[in-house]
Amino acid sequence: MEKITSIPLMLRNNHYNISLVAKLLGVDRKTVAIFRDDEGCHRHIVVRGRLMTETRTAK
């Protein structure tokens, strides 16, 4: 079964420690800070410990 979560949920579970969440995901702290307000997972999702973000394509 796949574990699906979000950065805001991970922050709540880790006492709002941005550094710890960034270390768990293997990304920069600024990346975690960018997505910390995305409660509805409109721009990102975390699946099995991997951060997946939306992509924007050029027209």
Q: Is the pLDDT of residue 2 over 80?
A: no
**Backbone region of residue 56 per phi and psi (left: phi > 0; alpha: psi in -120 to 50; beta: other values):** beta
pLDDT digits (tens, 9 = 90+) for 30-40: 999 999 999 99
- What confidence category does residue 1 fall into, taking pLDDT thresholds of 50, 70 and 90? low
- DSSP calls for 1-59: ---EE-HHHHHHHTTT-HHHHHHHHTS-HHHHHHHTT-TT-SSEEEETTEEEE------
pTM over 0.75: yes
Residue recorded with tokens 């409109």 = 42
